[in-house]
Amino acid sequence: MLTISADAVDQALTFPGLVETLRAAFREGAVQPVRHHHEVERPDGATSTLLLMPAWTDFHAAGTSAGGHIGVKIVTVSPDNNAIGKPAVMGLYLLLNGATGEPEALIDGQRLTQWRTACASALAAHYLAREDASRLLVVGAGALSPFLAKAHSAVRPIKTIRIWNRTPANAEKVAADLRAEGFAAEAASDLDAELGQADIVSSATITTMPLVKGALLKPGAHVDLVGGFTPTMRESDDDAITRARIYVDTRAGATKEAGDIVQPLASGVLIPEAIVADLHELARGEKQGRQGPGEITLFKSVGAALEDLAAGIAVYNALKP
């Protein structure tokens, strides 16, 4: 069994390559039960979240019982980790042989999640963002933010990147790291002003108070919501929902777990029929993406086990002896 570090994951993947891998995965499908979501109450009064995300090759759809893979990601989310200088999200990915169940690889789950999450957003942007989108706003300066900047830049001609965070120093650090890699990135101080200028808004926070204000979005903008993964978290307001055509990564996950979808559905601001498509339907050509240059689109991602499985297989295939 291979043990694959974060650095090895970086060596195994490219943003354009993983976007195409995910496109094929959503087109072909896999068996992916809705993830297990558990709240862990700790003695100090804080709460962590334990996520278990299994998936396996759809042998029936593939027409064969040979080969294939089984995978499961184990993730913990502890928001207060930031106070002690540790990432909020920790995780491991276990990849198994689909025929025998033999463990094939244990992969750094944090890095795999960063790659697949960013590339799923970029895949959605391929269908939903304007082809000439050049100004990107990243809301949040966590570990995922540089991956989102690079992934969106891989599918659209991004010329300007702005990073906004409640703590300006954190935004500047992300921007400086991106500049060191050749991206035109700067920290932003005025979120509302940036919302009015951005062609793509990519938000990755765990806020419960919406930061993305729909009234400020310019015609033709694309909104990519990544961070809120529980019904109580919400990154966009009702105006963003009512002004945009709505897309999700998976209907089952988004309508159950994503506050940006669950809350508007509960209040009647959004009806289920107004969710235009998920990534399966877009990748298979069953539904269309952007309909015109002035349209506002909104994509909500909560993460799908299929993405981890596809990315994990790609990493394993690139590194196995």
pLDDT in tens, 239-294: 999 999 999 999 998 999 899 999 999 999 999 999 999 999 999 999 999 999 99
pLDDT in tens, 107-139: 999 999 999 999 999 999 999 999 999 999 999
Give the pLDDT band of residue 36 (cuts 50, 70, 90).
confident
CB-facing half-sphere around the CA of 191: CA atoms within 13 A = 18
Whole-angstrom CA distances from 257 to 174, 265, 297 are 28, 12, 20
Residue 61: pLDDT over 60:
no
Whole-angstrom distance between the N-terminal and C-terminal Cα of the chain? 11
Within the chain, which residue ranges are assigned CATH 3.30.1780.10? 2-112+306-319
- Cα separation, 209 vs 201, in Å, equals 17
**pLDDT for the residue 84:** 86
pLDDT in tens, 200-245: 999 999 899 999 999 999 999 999 999 988 899 999 999 999 999 9
Query: What CATH topology corresponds to 121-303?
Result: Rossmann fold (3.40.50)
Mean pLDDT of the chain: 94
- Cα separation, 139 vs 211, in Å, equals 8
**pLDDT for the residue 65:** 46
**pLDDT for the residue 294:** 97
**pLDDT for the residue 60:** 58
Residue 144: pLDDT over 90:
yes
- Cα separation, 260 vs 139, in Å, equals 15
Residue 147: pLDDT over 80:
yes
Residue range 36-41: mean pLDDT, rounded? 88
Give the pLDDT band of residue 35 (cuts 50, 70, 90).
confident
> pTM above the 0.85 mark?
yes
**pLDDT for the residue 5:** 98
- Cα separation, 200 vs 216, in Å, equals 13
CATH classification of 2-112+306-319 is 1.10.1200.10, yes or no?
no
- Cα separation, 94 vs 72, in Å, equals 5
**Least trusted range by pLDDT, from 74-78, 142-146, 245-249:** 74-78
CB 197 within 8 A of CB 135: yes
**pLDDT for the residue 63:** 47
**pLDDT for the residue 199:** 98
**pLDDT for the residue 229:** 83
Q: Of residues 299 and 59, which shows the higher confidence score?
A: 299
**Least trusted range by pLDDT, from 74-78, 105-109, 145-149:** 74-78
DSSP 8-class letter at 216: G
**pLDDT for the residue 64:** 46
Residue range 51-56: mean pLDDT, rounded? 93
- Determine the 3-state secondary structure of 276 from DSSP: strand
Within the chain, which residue ranges are assigned CATH 3.40.50.720? 121-303
**pLDDT for the residue 7:** 98
**pLDDT for the residue 88:** 80
- Determine the 3-state secondary structure of 105 from DSSP: strand
**pLDDT for the residue 177:** 98
Q: Is the dihedral of CA 60, 66, 68, 71 positive or negative?
A: positive
Q: Which of 82, 101, 113 is nearest to 18 (CA)?
A: 113
24 exposure class (CB count in 10 Å sphere: 0-12, 13-18, 19+): exposed
Residue range 102-110: mean pLDDT, rounded? 97
Q: What one-character-per-residue DSSP string does 133-169 give?
A: --EEEEE--STTHHHHHHHHHHHS---EEEEE-SSHH
